[in-house]
Amino acid sequence: MTPFRTVAEVLTAIQTVKAGAADFCTNFFPDGQKLQDWVGRNELLGESRAGALFLFRRDRDFSRMFFCAASPAALREGLAALPNLRAERVVAEVVGAESALTGMLAGLEAAGFHRYRKLQRMARLGQSTLPPAAGAEMPVTLAEGADAPMILNSLKGAFDRYAEQLPTASEIESAVAAGQIFVVKLDGKLAGLLFFETQGMTSTLRYWLVAEGFRDRHVGAALMRRYLATQSAVRRFLLWVIASNDNAVQKYLRFGFAPDGLVDHVLASAPIHHENHR
């Protein structure tokens, strides 16, 4: 695999695959800033096969794999030619309407990936009514720089690193500086947090959690109410949640979110399957 030195190299490689493709398929949709950051930190590696481009980005102790292929058949052929794919920890995701993902899922499963988690996207209109507050409101504040290590540890303990794309320490520091993390601190501890990204009239809720020992004290509700109330210019709120996590889904429904039809299948290589079945 070869590291990409510039964003232009990445875009040219993608266009080479895409040109003339009759049934182009991909799972690579990074925004411009993230792509620039990955390339700038030499984190993005690429490997080309006939009719397909594979990109790998290291994430802690595993790699995230992205692909661009002229067709599902080209994807299957390219995957079969990749060395060591079955022996390393690799995660790949495919996003879209369920009915449109059959070919990509089949290609990844034929290469040895298994379905690890399924996420669903939920959306909320900006003008939706908030449910009434229950009990006294918690003291919600914006996170400070000194909170970043505690936030990272909380996220690592509460979320699945393979399925839920945990942020790096630098991403948390940037989010704190941008005023995109709300926290509740009680008894000198981090009782809960809500991490979001707002761009224009769309806001994405990335992480929402309440620490053990502080549940049933309306910490999560206070965080959500503050978040929704402060994003007055937002017309659409989005989030991804593990589809089988009914407890979380019900909480989002209560605050006006509803599934919008998009799903995200997270697939993992054999070593991750074995690791989680010991």
The pLDDT, as a whole number, for residue 273 is 72
Q: Is residue 278 part of a domain?
A: no
Work out how many domains the chain is built from and give that number: 2
| Residue whose entry in the numeric block shows the structure tokens 């690890």 | 116
**188 and 234 in one domain?**
yes
Q: Alpha-carbon distance 70 to 230, whole Å?
A: 43
136: CB partners within 8 A, 6+ apart: 218
Specify whether 101 is located in the same domain as 138: no
251: region left, alpha or beta (phi > 0 left; psi from -120 to 50 alpha): alpha
The β-bridge partners of 193 are 183, 209
Please write the tens of the pLDDT for every residue from 40-91.
999 999 999 989 999 999 999 999 999 999 999 999 999 999 988 888 999 9
Residues 33 and 100 in one domain: yes
pLDDT at position 265 is 98
Same domain? For 76 and 178 the reply is no
Measured CA to CA in angstroms, residue 6 lies from 80, 218, 237 at distances of 28, 47, 32
Q: SS3 helix, strand, coil % of the chain, rounded to 5?
A: 35, 35, 35
Q: Which of 23, 24, 13 is nearest to 49 (CA)?
A: 13
Within-domain flag for 55: yes
pLDDT in tens, 237-267: 999 999 999 999 999 999 999 999 999 999 9
Do 228 and 250 reside in the same domain of the chain? yes
Q: Give the CA-trace dihedral at 188, 194, 197, 201, to 10 degrees.
A: -130
Rg (CA), the chain: 20
**Same-domain status, 105 and 129:** no
CA–CA separation, 2 and 5 (whole Å): 9
Domain hosting 260: range is 124-264
Rounded Cα distance, 55 and 61, in Å: 17
Domain boundary among 88, 112, 136: 112
In a domain, 272, yes or no: no
Question: Residue 275 above 70 pLDDT?
Answer: no
Residues 182, 75, single domain; the answer is: no
pLDDT in tens, 1-48: 899 999 999 999 999 999 989 899 999 998 888 899 999 999 999 999
| φ, ψ (nearest 5 deg) of residue 194 | -140, 120
- Residues 140, 200, single domain; the answer is yes
In a domain, 273, yes or no: no
Say if 269 falls within a structural domain: no
Tokens found for residue 227: 């978040």
Residue 94 DSSP SS3: strand
Rounded Cα–Cα distance for residues 208 and 220 (Å): 7
What pLDDT shows up at residue 9?
96
What local confidence, expressed as pLDDT, does residue 277 receive? 44
Residue 118 domain-assigned? no
**Co-location of 136 and 224 in the same domain:** yes
Q: What pLDDT score was predicted for residue 22?
A: 86
Tell me how far apart the alpha carbons of residues 194 and 198 are, in angstroms, rounded to a whole number.
Answer: 13
